[in-house]
Amino acid sequence: MEAKTASGARSCEGLGYFVRTFGCQMNLHDAERVSGLLESEGAVPVGSAEEADIVVFMTCCVREKADTHLYGQASAMASAPEPPSGLRTVCVGGCIAQRDGERLRQQVPVVDVVFGTQAIARLPHLICEARTGEAGLAVDTEERYDGFSTDLPSHRASKAQAWVPIMYGCNNFCSYCVVPYVRGRERSRAFEDVVDEVRRLVADGAREVTLLGQNVNSYGRDLYGEPRFAELLRAVGDTGIERIRFTSSHPKDLSDDTIRAMAETPAVMPQLHLAVQSGSTDVLRRMNRKYTRDDYLALVGRIKEAMPDIMLTTDLIVGFPLETEQDFEDTLSLVREAGFSGAFTFIYSKREGTPAAAVDDPTPRDVIQGRFDRLAKLIEEQSWQANQRFEGERVEVLVEGPSKKDPRRMTGHSRESVTVHFPAPEGVEPADLVGTLVDVHVEQARTWYLAGSMVGEPR
C-alpha cells in the first residue's frame, strides 16, 4: 500500500495533513480511510488547513451548497500562509471530484490532486506525482471495482463508534439525484466480511456501529440474487456490539422481514431515518421514488406496530419542479401523520445531468422559500413535542466528548439518537467518560436536545 519515493522513503514522510469533509456519512467513513492511508505513508495530522502541507477536501455534490463550500474553502488556500514544507498540496476527493475531474482546476485553480470515489487508494501516489511533477495536477477518476475502501488503513475519529459500509452505489436513479452517476451502481460487500469487520471493531473497543450504504435495504441483491439486510442485522447483532444504527434506507425496499429483524435484535436502536422527500404522490412519481404517499404511510404504520417507541426522522425536498400548493399541503399533512421527530429539509437544488434538471419551473423563489419556512416550523414543533416524552425520565447515553465551549459539559446520543448534554460529575475527569455508556436523568427537554444529570456509574 505504501507509495515509495525514489529514495525508498514513504511518500508523505513528515508532512502535516488536514482533512475537511462535506456531506454524508459515507464521506465521513472515506475521510477516516484517507487519514489512515496518509498516516501509513508518514503524514501527521495538524489542527487546521492553514498549517497543513496536504489539505484534503472530501466532497458531496448532492446539493449546490456543497459546491459553494468547496469552491470557497479550497480557493482560500491560495492566500494561506506557506506551510512548513514550503509546498502545499490541495486535494479534492469524493463526489464532486468524480463528477468534475480535471475541470475542477477551472473553478479552483489552487487544486493539485483530484481523486474520484474509487481512487482513494491511489491518493499517496497522486500526491507524490503532484508534488514532484511539472504539470502540478494529478487526476484519477477512473471507475474501478477491484476492492472497497474498507480494505485501507483507517484513522477512526472515535474508538467507541465506527462506520461500517456494507455496500456502495445506487440503482434507483431518483430524478433529482446524482449519486448513481458519481458512486456507480450497487456493489455489496461479502456478508462474512461485514460481520468479521464488526467483530474486529468490538474487540477494538467499539460499542456502536452504523451500517452504511446508499440503500442498505437492498444489500446483497447484486451478490446473492436477493436482499439479505434483515439477515445481516441479526448477524451483526450476534457479534457483541451494543448499538447498531444504519443509513440510508429507501422506503420501497424496507421489507417486513427487516422490520422484524429490527424489532427482534436488541442492539438495533429504536430510531430510523426513512427519507420520504415529498408527501405528494404526483411529486413522488416525478421523482421516480417508486412508492406512493399511501405506501409510505402504510410502511410507517407497520414499523410503529412492531416498535411502538421508535423515533422516525426523514428527508424532505421543497420546491421540486412543478410542485403545487396542494402538493406541498400533502407534504405537511404527511409529516403530521407520520409523526416525524426531526427532518433534514432542503429547497430543491438542480443537479446537472439529472432528469429533473431539464424541467423548467415557473414557481417564484419567494413562494418556495415561504413553503420551506412553514415546513421547518412544523418540524420544529414536532421535534419539541417528541422530546417531551423524555423529561423526567432516565435515558442511556453513549458519551462522545466534551462541549467546545465548556470542557466539563459532556455530549452524547440516546438510544433514539437524541443529543443529550450533562455536566461531568464532581471528581470525574471528562476524558474518562468518553466512550462510556451512562444514564442521564433528563431535567430539560428542548427542541433539538435533552439536558440533565448523570446518574450512577459509567459502564
**Binding site for [4Fe-4S] cluster: what residues are annotated?**
24, 60, 95, 170, 174, 177
Rounded Cα–Cα distance for residues 32 and 203 (Å): 19
What the block records as the C-alpha cell of 124 is 499517496
Question: Residues annotated as binding site?
Answer: 24, 60, 95, 170, 174, 177
Please give the C-alpha separations between residue 401 and each of 80, 98, 211, 448, 455, in angstroms, as whole numbers: 30, 34, 22, 18, 17
**Start-end of H helices in 161-292:** 179-183, 191-203, 221-224, 229-237, 256-264, 281-287
What's the CA angle centered on 361, arms 358 and 364, to 5 degrees? 150
Q: Which residues pair with 90 in a beta bridge?
A: 55
Rounded Cα–Cα distance for residues 94 and 57 (Å): 8
Rounded Cα–Cα distance for residues 256 and 230 (Å): 9
* Nearest residue to 387 (alpha-carbon basis) of 423, 345, 341: 341
Reported in sequence order, the residue ranges of 23-107 that DSSP labels E, i.e. its strands, are 44-45, 54-59, 89-94
SS3 200: helix
SS3 158: coil
In 10 A of CB 350, how many CB atoms? 14
Q: Which residues pair with 423 in a beta bridge?
A: 409
Residues 119, 141: contact at Cβ < 8 Å? yes
Following DSSP, what letter does each residue of 254-288 receive, concatenated? --HHHHHHHHH-TTB-SEEEB--B-S-HHHHHHHT
